[in-house]
Every structure is written in structure tokens, then in C-alpha cells.
Amino acid sequence: MAKKVIKKKVVKKGVKKLAVRNNTSSKMRTKARSSLSKKNDLTIHFMPYSEIANEDAVARVKKIMGIVLKNKIIILQGKLRVEEEAKLIENSMMLIGNVAGFAGIEIASLSGENENRSLFDSVRRNIAKILVGEQDAITVIGPASVVKEITKDPKKVELLLARK
């Protein structure tokens, strides 16, 4: 039932890109393979649950980390399982020090039942509404460096979303 609402709101299924770039050419981006792309390059990847529904834990974590390493913030419709959360942390820890500029992730599962106010607080309601409607739960996962930027300047995301 909730799913239908989401599809309507999201318009197109799959990846939703909202990108602002600060003159980072695509050449530069491909060159910097094992390091994160520029901080100002903020992209949001909307992930409908269907995108990972049929994957096992390992594949899910791999998919998520792949996107995070491209310096994108994932907004996942729904929740990860607890063991996937743990795996995601383990994976992030393995990558710190091996991927230049990568300092781990920020992850927040937001739902009606818990009031996770640790991050994105001022923006999350807006993001949630725009992207997934009044969905039960969403999970926001992003590279720590990027999330730090946002929490410093929450308007950035709101502006982005307003422009879409």
C-alpha cells in the first residue's frame, strides 16, 4: 500500500540524481578512482527497496558501499537488517585508511518509532517527505565527510531538493 504512494511521488523508479558540481570534470572524477570525489559534489541516490529486495546481505552491503564511495548519499526506502548494519560498519572500517579521503559513514535509520536526532535532524523531514512520502522508515547512509558538510550547512540539501 505504502509502496504505491512512493512510486507516484518518486515519478521514476530507480536512481534519482540531484547533483551540483563544482567544476569537477568527468575526467578528474574517473582519475580519482580510489579516493573520494570532491566534497562539493553532492549527489543523492534514492534507492527503492526493490533495488535490494532480492539481494543477500553481502550483495546489499557491497552495493551500498559502492554508491557511498562515489560520494553519494543514499536514501533507502525501508530499513536494513541488524546484521547488515553491522556488516556495513565492518566494511567501512576496512576501507578507512585504504581509500584516500574516506573516513567512514554516517547512517541513520529513521522511523516513526525512533526519533533519531543524531544527524540530518533539520533536513530529514523534508528529504523524507519529498522523496519517499510519509513512509514508515527510511535509512540515510552517506560518507562521513559529506554528511559533515551537510550538517554544517543543511540548506544545501534543501536547496537542491527544492530545485528538482
Partner 1 sequence: MIKIIRNFAKRIFSGVFKKKGEIKLGFYGSPNAGKTSLANRISQDWLGEDLGTVSKMPHETREIQIKEKVVLERDGKKIEFKLIDTPGVATRIDFEDFMKFGLKKKAAQDRAKEATQGIIESIKWLDDMDAVIVMIDSTVNPYSQVNITILGNLAARDIPVLVVANKIDLKKSNIKKVRGAFPEYEVVGISAKGGDNIEEFYEELFKLVKKV
H/E stretch holding 2: helix 2-10
Minimal distance, residue 62 CB to partner 1, in Å: 17
Nearer to partner 1, 6 or 142 (CB): 142
Nearer to partner 1, 132 or 140 (CB): 140
Minimal distance, residue 78 CB to partner 1, in Å: 15
Nearer to partner 1, 9 or 149 (CB): 149
Applying CB under 8 A, the residues found at the interface with partner 1 are 82-83, 85-86, 89-90, 92-94, 96-97, 103-109, 114-118, 144
Read out DSSP for 17-71? ---B-SS--HHHHHH-TTB---TT-BEEEEE-GGGTTT--HHHHHHHHHHHHTTT
Minimal distance, residue 30 CB to partner 1, in Å: 26
Nearer to partner 1, 6 or 143 (CB): 143
Minimal distance, residue 93 CB to partner 1, in Å: 4
Closest alpha carbon to 153 in 21, 11, 42, 12: 42
For residues 145 and 28, give the distance between their C-alpha atoms in angstroms, rounded to a whole number.
Answer: 19
For residues 164 and 115, give the distance between their C-alpha atoms in angstroms, rounded to a whole number.
Answer: 28
